[in-house]
Amino acid sequence: MAYAVSQRRHEIGVRMALGAAQPDVMKLVIGHGMALTLIGIGIGLVGAFAATRALASLLYGITPTDFPTFATVSLVLAGVALLACYLPARRATNVDPMVALRYE
């Protein structure tokens, strides 16, 4: 996300010069990152459910489709991704519109 924000610095500066507020920029960056995160978690859950049959003999004391385990791992990953999106989004709100417009 930090790389994506640095690549879009000019666009963010133009948006802020045209009147976008800091919460709008935060919502833009975090929304994009969390959309990617939710897609990844969904694909990962489908893959994990598919792999449980192959790994069922290796699990001890837990069912292959243990809901609390899947939910906890998904929530932890979503939380880490939210933090990873928040830090670049906060940096994006500090973009000076005049500097971004003078860049080109």
Model pLDDT, residue 31:
93
pLDDT digits (tens, 9 = 90+) for 68-78: 888 999 999 99
pLDDT digits (tens, 9 = 90+) for 21-55: 899 999 999 999 999 999 999 999 999 888 887 88
pTM score > 0.85 for this model? no
What is residue 58's predicted lDDT score, i.e. its pLDDT? 76
**pLDDT bracket for residue 104 (50, 70, 90):** low
| Cβ atoms of residues 26 and 90 within 8 Å | yes
Chain centre to alpha carbon of residue 24? 16
pLDDT above 70 (res 67): yes
pLDDT above 80 for 16: yes
Alpha helices in the chain (DSSP H): 2-7, 9-17, 22-55, 67-92, 97-102
